[in-house]
Amino acid sequence: MTTRSIMAALVAISACSSFAASETYVIDPAHTYPSIEFSHMGISVWRGKFDKTNGTIVIDRAAKTGSVDIHVDPASINFGLADMDDKARSEDFFNVAKYPTATYKGTLKFDGDVPKSIVGEITLLGVTKPLTLTINSTKCIPHPMTGKELCGADAQGEVNWSQFGMKWSKFGEGEAGRLVLHIQVEGSKQE
């Protein structure tokens, strides 16, 4: 009787684990645009986006968890102004010659059935700091052309330039050093 009970429990566990499989989504670089915004001397707000991004998102809906792994090419910064783009690539800002990659890695946190935040770490200029992103919206649909599940999200969080030793961290602390990070992301489910 005990052996049967153990066997029944193992069968039940293996059946449940097949339903709790995680799903991997590969980020679509043509539809993913991490962007930043910051105060320019307190008189206006500068906004720039990064044109080259890759990574994966793993979601386990049954376990209500997942992970995010995003890699950004900081040399792909685009403010819409060539002089500002060049300045952002220089040693004063992202120092792309020395630090060619910026990353964000984190764990999805759910509220009910919906992911609401990502608790993780951002690495800029070789310095890693904690950063929690709030997820403003998520949606999954069948892709109209491929039929694969396509998911998208919009998330944001804040750091301070000075935390990363950026040369132009003379922007200072508080509002002057505040950097808002937005990640608009889309990814297709891998089979």
Tens digit of each residue's pLDDT (9 = 90 or more) over 36-66: 998 877 788 889 999 999 999 999 999 999 9
In 3D space, the residue among 25, 29, 36 whose CA is nearest the CA of residue 77 turns out to be 36
Place of tokens 């566990």: 13
Task: Tell me the domain boundaries of the chain.
Answer: 22-189
Flag whether pLDDT at 16 surpasses 50: no
Residue 169 confidence (pLDDT)? 56
* Confidence class for position 170, pLDDT limits 50, 70, 90: low
Alpha-carbon Rg for the chain, nearest whole angstrom, is: 20
Mean pLDDT taken over the chain: 85
pLDDT in tens, 76-135: 999 999 999 999 999 988 999 999 999 999 999 999 999 999 999 999 999 999 999 999
Opening angle at CA 183, ends 67 and 121, nearest 5: 50
Taking the C-alpha atoms of residue 37 and residue 47, their distance in angstroms, rounded to an integer, is: 4
In 3D space, the residue among 83, 71, 74 whose CA is nearest the CA of residue 49 turns out to be 74
Task: Determine which helix (DSSP H) or strand (DSSP E) holds 87, and give its type and residue range.
Answer: helix 82-89
pTM beyond 0.75, yes or no:
yes
- For the residues 163-170, what does the mean pLDDT come to? 72
- Cβ-contact 71, 147 below 8 angstroms: no
* Close Cβ partners of 58 (under 8 Å, ≥ 6 residues apart): 22, 23, 24, 25, 66, 67
Residue 124: count of CB within 10 angstroms of its CB = 26
Residue 36: count of CB within 10 angstroms of its CB = 19
Taking the C-alpha atoms of residue 21 and residue 118, their distance in angstroms, rounded to an integer, is: 20
- Cβ-contact 96, 86 below 8 angstroms: no
- CATH code for residues 22-189: 2.40.128.110
Cα end-to-end span (Å), the chain? 41
* Confidence class for position 172, pLDDT limits 50, 70, 90: low
Higher pLDDT, 25 or 169: 25
Burial degree of 20 (CB within 10 A; 0-12, 13-18, 19+): exposed
Query: What one-character DSSP code corresponds to residue 52?
Result: -
Residue 19 confidence (pLDDT)? 47
